Structure 1
């Protein structure tokens, strides 16, 4: 009897991989291993609706019946201690092992650790799991002041949520702008202005020297400027690191994640890696990337299932991301790192605009604030390899749609 597939990690990627294996007709054992005792759940709401609503419960990815009817063995609260790629076996913490024909590593990532004096004090928290979110929610109900370390998506989502709940919030970012590695300066500036208008204090080009407290609880953050910032809660949002230790110890190739090819195979073909921990050469940008998004995780999971079931597809999904920060829905499609010129369209003052990014004459990304139609059209255009000219984009959304429709008609009429 075949040993089947073992999936390590029960987040978005792992659950989708299990579902997709069954969708692809895979009819031998599928085991899904998660290190939490919860049913697998959606993570994006944790920084928003979950922490602001004391009655909120985790939004599960699939009902428990899904695993039963799909004959997916869900093993919760289990840690994998090592991988034996030669023997095709996973050794479990506390004893026992699981053999596999193929394994999928969907181990995700974890918050980067804060290394400064006072980092061990109570009230210093990060967010990656529902247990973390519960801790933040419970503590936020008893505090007045919060300091957020890091001006990335998670930090700003939490900052907006806490501020809306009546807390005094300060965001500290070491770089010269918020979301500096994620979005264009125009959007960074806009996000900062909206957050400050809502009462959040933002300090850029600033770091924290140390945290101070008493009786084991944090009371203040001492900024690099010397200012003492009251804080009964400090949220650390300074980035994440991929969970690749299991792979590295097993001898799999790693480089800012677990290296995979276009079919999600690692340097050991029977072992695949997907999601936040997978590093690969991206077809769209030509660069080595490791993307942290639900879309990337689930699309790679679907492809991994097809790889295991004998297909030879290559990963070519257009990357897209989103974040809800206060009254701003940010949506990004494409990868803007290689942009050499940008065009802002829409009404910034009305909190509705987009930034179109070009690399030469090629449209490579669109970043939108409260302009979902631009985002959806962008996903279609980038997926089709269509680049409207800057002049067409400047003429307005209707002109872009018309140009794209004309191009699609031309392709249909002359597919060669």
Structure 2
């Protein structure tokens, strides 16, 4: 009886997303970033159904209310994306292209300087996996052991890697913005593309799937957010190049999955829908009652340190040790919504979401059919949080806080620059009129 009711609740959650997508598509009449976001939530829900029926004892019983809570929180967080309507936007307001070019060059240089080392690691890993595909698991375990020894020790061992990783999401926004320009610098476009591929290759080389999936999801949702502003020629190139990269990366992810989980009890296939569908089920079981909270130690640890809080874990290893009493921690996927409820509780988390959503909505209002570049920066941050965090965890946690700082700093830099240039333009216009 428990199994039947649990299945009904999961199916009901899937149906909610189906109805939501249908209503949204009837209104928008095109596939856009909002569509991608909601379809991803739907796919994760379907995977949860398969996962539950393969591991009933791990998740019984499954209730409906946590799913309703999760649905409302996901809709609230993604509302700025759903409200972003490219049908009403005629063009992107031109930002200070010198600033944009500087950011592009920083991203390209700090990423490609790592390429020789990444290629060496990749070739070594490939050789090992050709001998024994299970070597993928050994490489991953070695990576985790190294991170345990170095994370949070306060040293800066690779500045270029830190800067490059800070741009890992923003670099994709820069890539697609450059593709919208009439006069494109082909060397910069190629550099941006190679940088994005390099980041994926670097994580494949150490047998990590998560960051690679994050980049793929980012590429897809950013493409659909910018698709209206791309020429037909660019769209065709994106489809061919993007399709080829997607196939190669998916093959690599499949190889890593087989290598890491071939000796796992239920096999690699079960690990796939376990990877894709666990966040909904773990949220259902622990998202609203985890036996305590983490007080923002996962979502905003860097900000807590800057504000002078003591005893803030410097790595996920330290955090798991500090909160060993909790029923679940970040060793399992619980979605970005779950990360916030585990950090702040089920009553404070919605307040945070409401405040952040209102902040974004207020600052991304479209006027005169133009969207400003600084508004795209803020919207892109929300896109990444939703599409990446809907699958796994809050992707801007821990050192990801640096990415939030970068997004916000650049938002205000481009906003103030836009306002300054508008002010100067008005002064020149008034000066011309006074002379007449």
Query: TM-score, normalised on structure 1?
Result: 0.23
Relative contact order, higher structure (CA 8 A, sep 6+) = 2
Q: Identify the structure with the greater strand proportion.
A: 1
More helix by share: 2
Instruction: State the TM-score, normalizing by the size of structure 2.
Output: 0.22
